[in-house]
Structure formats: structure tokens, C-alpha cells
């Protein structure tokens, strides 16, 4: 198992429940563990019945378990502030003010939300050395995966930019013979530096996700979830990220043999359908690392500790 675990899957399949369960399991195995959620509904704090902040918060009742709930709106705000700060270093405040409406608009787009979230995830990846294990309760989505291809695109862009700037500085120099100033400003050009920084950051993320991360997808035995899992698995593979395992959640429990009522007949029929669907799930490829039944109550607290041993990540 790698240092970083990502638990993905369609909406409502049980990502938060399973990520939290996985984190409890690792902490109870003696590993210093961090669980990271980006769920705006703050369901991780609900599961632990305590408030959790945007920075590592120790979880009551565990010696080695911290949690973070990323606030996606705050992440977008920070991103906007940081972009403005970086711009202020490079151009006049008048220009920053003039383009502020465009900046705001860009940060209101759907892609910005994902980009800001991914930025925060990269921060956590970079500062996670105090943890043996970090469990993220979401896998990268389509937009985030596209960001992984960004280092290559940025490389081309930076090269072209450097070429253009070299050419313009050469022209400037042939006009002002003897004045070497432009050549000196070239190497610490703030725009090029900033682009280089971004590129290094995405490169780090792409490398970490490919070499130090395990991906698990939660799937429920219904057609929509199975199809989505197939798609997510293909999409991850296309980005050189393999899925390490599937967690099948919300399987119908077995009625007692002696039960003869309509309820028992319903459960038996559902279970027959689910057996077929399990075959389809197996054919997706990655191994099934856990099968979890639908519980009577939404699992929380002690129930998560009971579920913890059923997840087999190795
Ligand atoms: N095995 C289970 N038995 C019964 N209820 C479950 C089980 N797993 C999850 N649930 C319930 O299903 C609901 C969705 O679970 P959860 O919040 O973990 O899913 P999620 O994938 O994180 O959802 P979202 O996409 O909204 O973040 C919750 O009410 C949770 O308590
Ligand atoms: Mg969730």
C-alpha cells in the first residue's frame, strides 16, 4: 500500500464512509494517519461527531488520527488572492485592478473550483511527511486529470515564451550596444519564474500520483454506479493511473432461511440480481478488496470500527 490512498466513486456510493473507515483501520494498525475530505457537506465531521477544520484536526478517541475538511469556497478565494498577489509583483496595480473583473469571472467557472481544490491537495501532498498514511475521500475527476497533463503543455509554453523573450532581448541589445542589462533580467524574469514554479508543482503532483498513490473506487451494485466505475477506471488508466481495487458497498443482506414473507422474497430476488452485477463488477479488472452490506443505520462511530477489518487493502 502506498503512502497516499484516494477513494473515488459516483455520488452517494459511500466514499466518505469508506475513506473514514480506511483511515480508522490504518490508525488502529499504528500508523500516523490523516483523512482529507473535500465534501462541502462536511460529512467527515458528522461521522466523528466533532468539528474539523481546514488544517489537521486530531480526532477524539484515536492517538494517531487527524482529519482535514477542505473548504472548497475558501480554496477558490485563496487561489484568487494568490493570483492577484503574484500579478502585483509583475505588473502595475492599475493593470491588476483593470483585469480584476476577468479574474473574478475566471474563478467563478467550474474548472476553477477543481483547480483550486487540486492546488490544496498538492499542498497536502507536499507537507504530508509527518504521516505514514493519507486517505483522500475523492479521486481526481476529469478536470483534475487534465491538469496532470499540464506539465508537458507548460513545458512547451515556457520554451516558446523563453524563445520570444530571448529574441526581443537580442533585438534590444543590438539597438543598445554595450548595455547588458536586458540579458541579466532575462534569467530572473518573474513571469518565466512563476510559470516554472507552476510547472514544477504539477510535475510533483503527477509524479506523486503515479508512484506513491493507490486508487480505490467504491461501487454499489446498480447499473449507474457500475458504468461510472468502468468509465472512471478507463479515465484513470488513460492518465497512467491504475485502479488498485474496488470496494463494493451497500450489498443486500441475506434473510434468514426460515423467513417466508414478502420482505424476504424481495431480498432474495435482489441478491440474485446483485450476484450477476458482482460478476460484471469483477470483469472491470481491479480486484475487489471489500464487500460491505447495507447496514440498518448509516454507519458512524463504533460501527466504522467494526467495518474497518473488512477492508483488505494489501
Ligand atoms: N454500507 C452502508 N450501509 C448503510 N448506509 C450506508 C452504507 N454506506 C454508506 N451509507 C450511507 O449512504 C449515504 C452516502 O454515503 P457517503 O456519504 O459515505 O457517500 P459519498 O460517496 O461520500 O457521498 P457524496 O458523493 O455525497 O460525498 C450516507 O447516508 C451513508 O451513511
Ligand atoms: Mg462524501
Mean pLDDT, residues 135-161: 76
Residue given cell 532575462 in the structure block: 186
The answer to whether 171 and 201 have CB atoms below 8 angstroms apart is no
Mean pLDDT, residues 256-267: 94
Q: Which atom of ligand 1 is nearest to the CA of 17?
A: 18
The verdict on the CB of residue 37 being under 6 Å from ligand 1 is no
Q: How far apart are the first and last CA of the chain?
A: 6
Mean pLDDT, residues 95-121: 81
Which of 24, 224, 298, 307 maximizes ligand 1 atoms within 8 Å of its Cβ, making it the mutation to test the pocket? 298
The verdict on the CB of residue 11 being under 6 Å from ligand 1 is yes
231 vs 238: CA distance, rounded Å: 11
Give the per-residue pLDDT at 166.
Answer: 74
Bridge-based pairing state of the strands 4-8 and 57-58: unpaired
The verdict on the CB of residue 305 being under 6 Å from ligand 1 is no
Percent of the chain with pLDDT over 70: 92
Specify the range with the lowest mean pLDDT, choosing from 163-177, 223-237, 261-275: 163-177
If you classify domain 4-78+111-138+212-310 with CATH, what class do you get? alpha beta
Give the per-residue pLDDT at 279.
Answer: 97
Mean pLDDT, residues 43-71: 94
Q: Which atom of ligand 1 is nearest to the CA of 39?
A: 27
The verdict on the CB of residue 295 being under 6 Å from ligand 1 is yes
Which of 10, 11, 17, 252 maximizes ligand 1 atoms within 8 Å of its Cβ, making it the mutation to test the pocket? 17
From the CA atom positions of the chain, what is the Rg in Å? 24
Ligand nearest to the CA of 13: 1
For the chain, domain boundaries: 4-78+111-138+212-310, 147-207
Percent of the chain with pLDDT over 90: 53
| Phi, psi at 78, each rounded to 5° | -60, -40
Q: Does residue 20 surpass a pLDDT of 60?
A: yes
pLDDT bracket for residue 102 (50, 70, 90): confident
The verdict on the CB of residue 38 being under 6 Å from ligand 1 is no
The verdict on the CB of residue 13 being under 6 Å from ligand 1 is yes
Ligand 1 center–CA 17 separation, angstroms: 6
How is 97-158 classified by DSSP, letter by letter?
A: HHHHHHHHHHHHSHHHHHHHHHHHHHHHHHT-TT-SEEEESS---HHHHHHHTHHHHHHHHH
Give the per-residue pLDDT at 183.
Answer: 53
Ligand 2 center–CA 56 separation, angstroms: 18
223 vs 241: CA distance, rounded Å: 24
Specify the range with the lowest mean pLDDT, choosing from 125-139, 140-154, 294-308: 140-154
**Residues in the 5 Å CB sphere of ion ligand 2:** 15-16, 39
DSSP assignment letter at 310: G
Atom 8 of ligand 1: nearest residue by CA position: 14
Q: Which of 99-113, 179-193, 203-217 tops mean pLDDT?
A: 203-217
Residue given cell 455520488 in the structure block: 11
The verdict on the CB of residue 138 being under 6 Å from ligand 1 is no
Ligand 1 center–CA 294 separation, angstroms: 10
pTM: 0.86
| Phi, psi at 134, each rounded to 5° | -125, 120
Amino acid at each position: 500500500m502506498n503512502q497516499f490512498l484516494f477513494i473515488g466513486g459516483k455520488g452517494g456510493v459511500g466514499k466518505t464512509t469508506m475513506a473514514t473507515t480506511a483511515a480508522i483501520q490504518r490508525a488502529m494498525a499504528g500508523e500516523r494517519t490523516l483523512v482529507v475530505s473535500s465534501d462541502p457537506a462536511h460529512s467527515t465531521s458528522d461521522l466523528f461527531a466533532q468539528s474539523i477544520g481546514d488544517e489537521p484536526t486530531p480526532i477524539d478517541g484515536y492517538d494517531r488520527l487527524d482529519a482535514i475538511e477542505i473548504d472548497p469556497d475558501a480554496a477558490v478565494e485563496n487561489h484568487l488572492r494568490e493570483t492577484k498577489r503574484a500579478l502585483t509583483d509583475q505588473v502595475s496595480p492599475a493593470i491588476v485592478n483593470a483585469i480584476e473583473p476577468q479574474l473574478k469571472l475566471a474563478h467563478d467557472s467550474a474548472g476553477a473550483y477543481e483547480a483550486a481544490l487540486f492546488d490544496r491537495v498538492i499542498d497536502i501532498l507536499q507537507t504530508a511527511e509527518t504521516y505514514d498514511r493519507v486517505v483522500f475521500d475523492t479521486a481526481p475527476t476529469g478536470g483534475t486529470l487534465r491538469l496532470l497533463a499540464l506539465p508537458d503543455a507548460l513545458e512547451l509554453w515556457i520554451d516558446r515564451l523563453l524563445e520570444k523573450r530571448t529574441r526581443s532581448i537580442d533585438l534590444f541589445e543590438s539597438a543598445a550596444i554595450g548595455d547588458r542589462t536586458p540579458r541579466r533580467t532575462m534569467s530572473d524574469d518573474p513571469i518565466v519564474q512563476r510559470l516554472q514554479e507552476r510547472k514544477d508543482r504539477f510535475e510533483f503532483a503527477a509524479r506523486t500520483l503515479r508512484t506513491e498513490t493507490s486508487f480505490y473506487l467504491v461501487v454499489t451494485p446498480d447499473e449507474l454506479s457500475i458504468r461510472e466505475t468502468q468509465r472512471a477506471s478507463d479515465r484513470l488508466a488513460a492518465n497512467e493511473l491504475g485502479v488498485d481495487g474496488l470496494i463494493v458497498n451497500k450489498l443486500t443482506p441475506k434473510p434468514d432461511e426460515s423467513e417466508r414473507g414478502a420482505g424476504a422474497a424481495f431480498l432474495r430476488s435482489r441478491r440474485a440480481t446483485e450476484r450477476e452485477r458482482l460478476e460484471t463488477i469483477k470483469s472491470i479488472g481491479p480486484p475487489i478488496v471489500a464487500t460491505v452490506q447495507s447496514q440498518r443505520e448509516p454507519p458512524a462511530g463504533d460501527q466504522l470500527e467494526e467495518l474497518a477489518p473488512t477492508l483488505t487493502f494489501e
